[in-house]
Amino acid sequence: MSTENEGTEGIAQPAAPSVPPVPAPAPDGPVAPAPASGDAPGAPPHPPTAPAAPQTPAAPAQQAAAAPPPPYQPVAQPPYPAPAPQDTVGAAYPQPGPGDQGAGWPPQPPALPAYGTNGPAWGAPDHPVAPPRRRRSGVLIAAVLISALVAGGVGGGLGYWQANRSDDGTSTTLTAGELPKDLKRDPGTVASVAAKALPSVVTIQANSGGGGAGDLGGPPGRAPGGGTGTGFVYDKEGHVLTNNHVVDSAADGGTLSVTFSDGKEYAAEVVGRAQGYDVAVLKLKNAPSGLAPLPLGNSDRVVVGDSTIAIGAPFGLSNTVTTGIISAKNRPVASGDGSGGRNSYMSALQTDASINPGNSGGPLLDSRGAVIGINSAIQSTGGGGQSQAGSIGLGFAIPINQAKNVAEQLIKTGEPVYPVIGATVNMVDQGEGAEITSQGVDGTALTPNGPADKAGLKEGDVITRFNDKPIDSGPTLIGEIWNHKPGDKVKLTFERDGKRNTADVTLGQRTGDN
């Protein structure tokens, strides 16, 4: 059912006659004059004396004709014939169907004008005609829509014309799917540093053929006496710098092989190693030409918070790169093989870069790619500084300034040289300083005519500062001493009988690990 005529459904209106009806014979008496042509439009015409009988609706409509008609509402007539309505009677006023008999049917008859009883005069509309506002509104909306579409079309056309006009072949616009041909990374990024450093980092495989300490941080499952560690190219002659505990098992009668990041493998031999420093130098057999040694930084100028990059072979996974920062400096660390008599001491750089078993001997780089330390030990929940447990963010590296001094001495003589003060100190107690004691290996507290003896120190003195560094234990004191060279002058602060004293000491030397 159409909703355009809601409220009028069920009212069937007759159509206006298209030609004047034939009047019936005039009755006796005067005849009312026809309306003058000059009457105002819309005025009700004078009803004729004998109008033609109207076209009567269906019989049901005649039964309802007794209802009083509504008052006549004149409709303005246009000066020209109004266009016939487009809606047909059947469409605008549906007739009852067979199933529509019931309430509301038959429909009410059309209202008759007040001036006559037999219907309107010919040519007059028999029902009010609504002004054509709906059509005009529709025309207006259509005009607006057409205008908008035309405006859109013109705008689109202008845009296309302008784009076409601007397309002179110099446009640099890229589609979403295009990528630069070369992905360039800025210098100093981790990717850039790693790409430059990896060709100079090697994975070391040590095999002794029997039992041995091997790499205490090596991957599990290796044969006894074997281990995996890391090293890096020290110079163009084929020297490789690493940890002593990486190669210890193969130092006497074992074999060593070195594998570069490109997969090329070379045999190597031990040039020299320093167990106390935990530093070793290897030499490649038939070293290839074009070796690129890693640049060495200055570990004394490192500060807490500096970025770090560690490269190594954790658990045998070669060429692994991890990052972190310098967490602390001058961290006293003692590491060893567990026998109690073969410990190494360092005043280490602490980093949170992930270091695991197999990273030992690998480089710790700064953000420029310069070596600032040699990764050597980790603290784990498993106990000692080196164990099969993984990283918990506590890694320790030998400062490169110290490692460089040791490496130069090993390359030159094959033996390490240690700076000493000529005194034996307590290596167990911690917190009060380093006490000079006779409970050493040889039972002597001071080396006669040694540096400490010459400076006036005695057994029982407690050393509390080394230069400007606080000392809380024997290992801390040794780590600080080994950061210097023989012949260096240092200032010791010590306590004797509750009093603080100072002494200037010139460091002596000891050659070899025995």
**What mean pLDDT do residues 390-403 have?**
91
Could you tell me where the DSSP H helices lie in 228-364?
Answer: 244-247
Catalytic residue among 200, 208, 360, 380: 360
Instruction: Specify the length of the chain in residues.
Output: 514
pLDDT for 338-373, tens place per residue? 444 578 899 999 999 999 999 999 999 999 999 999
User: Is residue 252 predicted with pLDDT exceeding 60?
Assistant: yes
Longest dimension (CA), the chain: 171
Catalytic residue among 239, 245, 354, 391: 245
Residue identified by tokens 């509390």 is: 464
Count the alpha carbons within 13 Å of 122 in the hemisphere toward its beta carbon.
12
Could you tell me where the DSSP H helices lie in 64-132?
Answer: 89-92
Note the Cα 150 to chain centre separation in Å.
47
- Least Cα distance to 300 among 238, 251, 370 occurs for 370
What does each C-alpha distance from 456 to 68, 338, 495, 496 come to in angstroms? 142, 35, 13, 12
The span from the CA of 292 to the CA of 112, in Å, is: 115
Task: Give the pLDDT confidence score for residue 43 in this predicted structure.
Answer: 42
**Which residues, other chains included, contact 46 with Cβ-Cβ below 8 Å and sequence gap of 6+?**
32, 33, 34, 35, 115
User: Is 200 marked active-site?
Assistant: no
User: Is 245 marked active-site?
Assistant: yes
User: Is residue 451 predicted with pLDDT exceeding 60?
Assistant: yes
Catalytic residue among 278, 352, 366, 461: 278
371: tokens are 């070596």
- Least Cα distance to 391 among 404, 402, 407, 380 occurs for 380
**Which has more pLDDT, 1 or 109?**
109
User: Is 278 marked active-site?
Assistant: yes
Please provide the average confidence, as pLDDT, over all residues in the chain.
73
Q: How many C-beta neighbours within 10 Å does residue 62 have?
A: 12
Task: Give the pLDDT confidence score for residue 136 in this predicted structure.
Answer: 52
Lowest mean pLDDT among 45-59, 348-362, 369-383, 479-493: 45-59
Q: Per-residue confidence at 246, pLDDT binned at 50, 70, 90? A: very high
**Which has more pLDDT, 280 or 162?**
280
pLDDT for 195-218, tens place per residue? 999 999 999 999 986 544 333 344
The span from the CA of 486 to the CA of 468, in Å, is: 19
